[in-house]
Amino acid sequence: MLGLLQRRRTLLLSLLMLFLAFAMLFAGRDESSRSIFLQRALLEVVGPFQKGLTKGARFVTGIFEHYLNLVHVKEENQVLREIIEELKRERIQLLEQRVENERLRSLLGFREGFEKPLLPAEVIGNDVSGWFQTLVIDRGQRDGIQEGMAVITVRGVVGQIMESSRNFARVLLITDPNSSVAALVQNTRAPGIVEGSSQKRCILKYLLQSETVQQGDLILSSGMDGIYPKGLPIGTVSGTDKRDVQLFQNVQVEPLVDFQKLEEVFVLYRHPSETEESAP
């Protein structure tokens, strides 16, 4: 116990002596030295606080600059996305123009190589009545369109004019059950009649059982009906139905024309005198 009190007394005396020495040293300085001393002491005390404030300000400034950069990058990305979308639209338009030009060149070449005058027409609609398999074109009576005129395209037979108004006309497709086309098999030259079916396909009728027909054979118009010129493609054989008890065989024909994708067609223009001659 006495040893502990002595150690404390010694410590207190040491601190007291140190304080007295520091006070004497400070008292011995002149006014300018004390001012410098106080400034240094104040700097030492304030320095850590300034350091912390500076770091904090820099941290906040960094966050704000980072936010501004993110906003700027977001705006740039939006502009780039708009540019990309515009380029995509331009590319689609160029591809569409290219496809249209190729199609028109093909139609023009087909028209120039045809003997009789062909009147180009645009398909503006498909069957809306539900009673017939038809399409509507933007040509009518003012263009010389009459009922019974043949409608064709580069790929083959489409149908014939069913009815017409002043500016428009309805085309009965060869796939309609009410349609018929005089035809022949290209390989064997065997004649028959192509009629439409309810499955939006065609059937080659009145073909003798003795005639050989294979899948993939091409069926052409024979020209015997006075409507379609001879040699126009109609479709290809997709199947046959032979029965010994029947005189004729039925042949399924897949049309070459995709009627759902038709955009332009040609009407085989006939002079009124030709129409009158073929009427009987």
151: enclosing H helix or E strand = strand 150-153
CB burial string 67-91: b at 16+ within 10 A, e below:
eeeeeeeeeeeeeeeeeeeeeeeee
Q: Higher-confidence residue: 213 or 109?
A: 213
List, for residues 158-177, the tens digit of each pLDDT value.
999 999 999 999 999 999 99
Residue 97 to residue 91: CA distance in whole angstroms: 10
User: Measuring CA to CA, which residue among 206, 205, 225 is closest to residue 280?
Assistant: 225
Q: Higher-confidence residue: 127 or 250?
A: 250
Superfamily of domain 118-278: Rod shape-determining protein MreC, domain 2 (2.40.10.350)
Residue 11 has pLDDT above 60, yes or no: no
pTM of the model: 0.60
Q: Are 201 and 218 in contact (CB under 8 A)?
A: no
The pLDDT assigned to 159 comes to 95
Chain CA centroid to CA 55, Å:
55
List, for residues 42-59, the tens digit of each pLDDT value.
555 556 656 666 666 676
Domain layout of the chain by residue ranges: 31-113, 118-278
Residue 255 has pLDDT above 80, yes or no: yes
Alpha helices in the chain (DSSP H): 2-27, 31-112, 272-278
The pLDDT assigned to 155 comes to 87
Average pLDDT over residues 107-122: 70
